[in-house]
Amino acid sequence: MKDRKILVPLDQSSISTQTVAGLLARKETLTFPLTLLHVLDPRRISYEGFGTTPREELEQRAVDEAQKFLASQQALFAAAGVAVITLFKQGYAREVICELADSGEFDLLVIGRKPDTDLRNLLFGQVANHVIHTVKCPVLIL
């Protein structure tokens, strides 16, 4: 994987945790810096149970939490001696990841994938499954 610009989409799932562990285990073969991407879909923010809290405040909290997550991932890689760039985007994760992966800026997409059944993928539309079957850039599945 030498001399490749690598895009790594992450969320707060156990699959992303496994992806990070897999990348760190392979750090001797990677090109640095890696680009860690986190996508926040504002449409998925739940407003229930927050009473009179303004919508804008809740959305800002979600953005702040997303950025804290990215900072924690950056610190994790830094502790392992791996240089990363973080990238935060808002939008529909499937679309944002595919658009960036195929933008010409990246040579490889590294993504984790949960081995779900075909029925679950059909019903719930797993992001990684969609991305893997849509992008034109090479993909490494961890």
Q: What is the pLDDT of residues 79-131, one digit of tens each?
A: 999 999 999 999 999 999 999 999 999 999 999 887 665 554 544 458 888 89
Give the whole-angstrom CA distance, residue 81 versus residue 69: 19
How many structural domains does the chain have?
1
For residue 94, what pLDDT is reported? 93
Q: Which amino acid is at 50?
A: F
Give the whole-angstrom CA distance, residue 98 versus residue 103: 8
Cis ω before 33 (30° cut-off from 0): yes
Range of the structural domain that residue 47 is part of: 6-141
List the CATH number of the domain containing 135. 3.40.50.620
pTM: 0.88
Asked if residue 103 belongs to a domain, the reply is yes
Asked if residue 1 belongs to a domain, the reply is no
Asked if residue 79 belongs to a domain, the reply is yes
In the predicted structure, residue 51 carries a pLDDT above the cut 80: no
Does residue 54 sit in helix, strand or coil?
A: coil
